[in-house]
Amino acid sequence: MRTRRLGKTGLEVSEIGFGCWAIGGNAYGKVDDRESLEALETAWSGGVNFFDTADTYGEGHSESLLAEFLKGKPRDQVLIATKAGWDFYPEDLKQRRAIADSESRNFAGHRKNFDGDYLRFACEQSLNRLGMDHIDLYQLHNPTLEQIRSGDPVSTLETLKREGKIRAIGISVHREEEALAAMEDPRVESLQVIFNVLDQRMVERVFAESEKKNVGVIAREPLASGLLTGKYPPGHEFPKTDHRRRWSPEKREWDWQKIQVIRHVLGNPLVTGDPGRAAQAALEFVLSFPAIASVIPGAKTKTQALNHQGAVSAPFLSESDKAQLRALWMDNPLFRKGLLPR
């Protein structure tokens, strides 16, 4: 497994990381903790050193699973990134602490909260769940454009960094303008963005700016939430607890149309219907962009973790394939019409 430097953080992250949303709960369907731990161990054995989670994934459960997996691992050889900003605790701070210290995971509804006091509290709780004295990369979890421009949440993270509780500051974003605004703040050391064959918005301005300013880029949703694996045909009904069930019919139809175009143009392993090979080809495409330091697909099983690692062991796409996939985004109106609501 090769590593790349995550911009000015100086962290050497594995090209294939491990996204820990799915193992936190049922956001991607049924999950089993035993299988999740096997997936984590498989990734580690294959050279993965970068694990990305968030406090809100399973309301702390993803972080707790990571802590179990990390027992006995050399701390200086593993890099943990987590996020804060989606407040799932009760309003009252005393009640927050009581629940955070209990075994209960029946928290209140999630809401955005980037106030300084809350971010400090959230960092403390993440450290406790992870069983660590510091977090390698602490990220704001999808703040609004106004919150990014204010600089106040980053100032809180800067204080946490001075105190030694975190090593590097990052921001996870949805939109191009949010990414560009984040990089205007020289204290921001990394960005986490959505990037895959179907959604290449960040390629035009964000990647160039990140390389210019030495801001590391982490690519999430590289498999388009599983759509690029070929496992989900048109009309597939996701379980009630699966976040993909909330996608609008318009988004589902739009994504399926784009996949059909890719099949017509390429007809290569990305679209053959073999989920493992399709995932590897999709990850290889993302890693073909030098601006990206690490790609973080989620894995719920040992088999999925092994498949993801295979993306760096053999070429699945030719240079011509990659060029055609990039051209689809640049030239095909279907790909360029903008992000539909989910």
Evaluate if residue 200 carries a pLDDT over 50.
Answer: yes
- Mean per-residue pLDDT of the chain: 88
| Band (338; pLDDT cuts 50, 70, 90) | low
What tens digit of pLDDT does each residue of 131-154 get? 999 999 999 999 999 999 999 999
Question: What integer is the mean pLDDT of 18-33?
Answer: 86
Does the domain spanning 3-229+274-317 belong to CATH 3.40.50.720? no
Rounded Cα gap, residues 153 and 175, in angstroms: 18
166: alpha, beta or left, given left = phi > 0 and alpha = psi -120 to 50?
A: beta
Could you give the CA distance from residue 232 to residue 223 in angstroms, rounded to a whole number? 12
Give the residue from 136, 296, 135, 293 showing the smallest Cα distance to 215.
Answer: 293
Average pLDDT in the 277-281 region?
Answer: 84
Among candidates 260, 233, 279, which has minimal Cα distance to 334? 260
pTM, two decimals, is 0.89
**115 vs 93: which has the higher pLDDT:** 115
Query: Residue 252: pLDDT above 80?
Result: no
Cβ proximity of 55 and 125 under 8 Å? yes
Check whether 103 has a pLDDT greater than 50.
Answer: no
Average pLDDT over residues 179-188: 98
Name which of 18-27, 45-54, 223-232 the model is least confident about. Answer: 223-232
**What distance in Å separates the CA atoms of residue 41 and residue 49, rounded to the nearest whole number?**
11
Span 304-316, average pLDDT? 87
- Asked if 279 and 231 touch (Cβ cutoff 8 Å), the reply is no
Residue 216 binned pLDDT confidence (cut-offs 50, 70, 90): very high
Q: List the chain domain ranges.
A: 3-229+274-317
DSSP string, 273-317: S-HHHHHHHHHHHHHTSTTEEEE--B-SSHHHHHHHHGGGTS--S
Task: Catalogue the E-assigned strands of the chain.
Answer: 3-5, 12-14, 18-19, 50-52, 79-84, 86-87, 111-112, 135-141, 166-172, 190-194, 216-220, 292-295
The one-letter amino acid at 275: P
